[in-house]
Amino acid sequence: MLAAVPLLLVGCEKATESVSDTTAGPLNDSNQAVEEKAFAHETHAAPSAKEEIKKVTFEVPAFLDAALHGKIDTVQRAIESGMDVNTTDEQQRTALMFAAFNGHTPLVKLLLEQGASVGERDETGRTALMFAATGANAEAVELLIEAGAEVNAADTGEGFTALMHAAAEGQIKVVQVLLKHKADPAIRDTDGDTARDFAKKNGHAEVVQLLEK
């Protein structure tokens, strides 16, 4: 069955709870749509004020939360303090995925310069390029591709590609960038649907026309 609604991610949960995606579409197989674009995070409590003054401790979820919200200074300090730029949450999502999801281009650039891998996949096989393709920031998509992101990669669950994500969201500039870099509009997901099918289902006429050329 063709999914009509593309990815949106659940909002912040309690510090002890893990994050789960709850929307239908290329980045999720659920049927409940949500509007908040955020991930769960923890608040690290220093053992004492003295210890807090001595050093800043970055917990992984807080580092990823900073990436999601484009806090480039916080992310840079964490990396300088020894944080692995490719560290993940429980669902194998990286800072690059988080930054790309919200189109934080300067942060995407920084993470790439610091060695962030464009080939990393989350637990369902989604890449940073797939996350980036849902947004309106074509520049971030371009950066990821120039860094070696595989344009026609598909996730391991439904076979969704970055082009399908962009088409489902009606992101015409992103679709144009992907096509320029040889994204294949003929690829079908596990249900036999193409990027054009997603665009048509969601009423994105301009994207449909572009994909029919």
- Identify the pLDDT of residue 60: 76
Q: Which long-range contacts (CB under 8 A, 24 or more apart) does 185-189 make?
A: 185/211, 187/152, 187/154, 187/159, 187/161, 187/163, 188/159, 189/26, 189/154, 189/158, 189/159, 189/160, 189/161, 189/164
Residue 18, domain member (yes or no):
no
Residue 47, domain member (yes or no):
no
Q: pTM for this one?
A: 0.77
Type of residue numbered 193: D
Residue 191, domain member (yes or no):
yes
- Identify the pLDDT of residue 26: 54
Domain extent for 204: 24-42+56-212
Residue found by looking up tokens 């669902």 in the block: 91
- Identify the pLDDT of residue 213: 85
Residue 9, domain member (yes or no):
no
Residue 99, domain member (yes or no):
yes
Residue 16, domain member (yes or no):
no
- Identify the pLDDT of residue 61: 87
Residue 12, domain member (yes or no):
no
- Identify the pLDDT of residue 2: 52
Q: What is the mean pLDDT of each run of 10 residues along the chain (213 residues)?
A: 43 30 40 30 36 48 94 96 95 96 97 98 96 94 98 96 96 98 97 96 97 92
Query: Tell me, what CATH number does 162's domain have?
Result: 1.25.40.20
- Identify the pLDDT of residue 33: 28
Burial (CB < 10 A; 0-12, 13-18, 19+), residue 103, is buried
Residue 71, domain member (yes or no):
yes
The tally of domains found in the chain comes to: 1
